Amino acid sequence: MTVEEIRVSSQWLDLREPADAAGRARDLVERVRRQLPPTGRRVIHDLACGSGSMGRWLAPLLPGPQLWVMHDRDGDLLDVAAANPPGPAADGADVIVELRRSDITQLRPEDLADASLITASALLDLMSGAQLAGLVDLCAGAGCPVMLTLSVVGRVAIEPADPLDTRVAAAFDAHQRRMTAGGRLLGPDAVAAATERFRRLGADVLLRASPWRLRAGEADLAAEWFSGWLGAACEQQLELTDEADAYARRRLAQARAGELAVTVDHADLLVLP
């Protein structure tokens, strides 16, 4: 069983990287630092790394030599990750990258046996319940900290408000929870499902908010996010299509004029073994 094959463009990941970095829960990094081995090379497995933004954000905040093993099934995104490796560690130590093209739902415990830390970002909500359960069990079995960031939680606030917002938000959430060949996707339920399963396995789970707050300075990202959000909602609920054109014109004009403020709530999890 594989996660539904949705391809993510490197342009989209590039556009969202600064908002991702601003939203990530920085205080969890201090907890990670305390859990890392005091000496030697830290091996960090980044699951579904995309173009490598997690490594570019986190590696310079962690001390000591690091090997980032970046896993993704998309070879084009791995090429982008290889071309933009993370900078040096917080203390100037070397950070090196190894790329692995793989389906992360098929990883075996031995693939992560050397992990000092496992990370994943913007992944959990794309998984089905069975896939997430497998991932949680795999990560818990590795016996190291696990940082799972930027999962959507189904809360979006747009200002100024528009009468269509609530219906579009509900249709988008239903689209996130749609049935696929690999099972029903968890969408906004993924964070609760992962937290519950890790806790049942005896792990300590820290949960933090990691919202995107898009204002006038992020007009391009707000417009791109909005188009994807509305497109998914219309795919889910065809009746919305009639009203969608006028709604999109209103909202995109507001985004271009810097008058649109969007908050997309996400959550970060740090799991301590």
Ligand X SMILES: C[S@@+](CC[C@H](N)C(=O)[O-])C[C@H]1O[C@@H](n2cnc3c(N)ncnc32)[C@H](O)[C@@H]1O
Residues of the shown chain interacting with ligand X in the complex, contacts defined by CB under 6 A:
2-3, 8, 13, 48-50, 53-54, 72-74, 77, 103-105, 121-123, 126
- CA dist 194 and 143 (Å) reads 16
Quote the radius of gyration of the chain (alpha carbons, Å): 19
Closest CB 149 distance from ligand X, rounded Å:
8
* Residue 128 dihedral angles phi and psi, to the nearest 5°: -85, 170
CB nearer ligand X, residue 164 or residue 185:
185
CB nearer ligand X, residue 75 or residue 163:
75
CB nearer ligand X, residue 12 or residue 165:
12
CB nearer ligand X, residue 23 or residue 64:
23
Contact partners, residue 54, CB within 8 Å, separation at least 6:
46, 119, 120, 121, 149
Closest CB 74 distance from ligand X, rounded Å:
4
Beta strand spans in 173-260 (E):
179-180, 183-184, 204-209, 212-214
Handedness of CA 100, 5, 154, 164 (dihedral sign): positive
Closest CB 42 distance from ligand X, rounded Å:
19
CB nearer ligand X, residue 182 or residue 273:
182
Closest CB 79 distance from ligand X, rounded Å:
12
Handedness of CA 101, 104, 107, 111 (dihedral sign): positive
- CA dist 241 and 235 (Å) reads 8
Closest CB 56 distance from ligand X, rounded Å:
9
β-pair partners for 95: 66
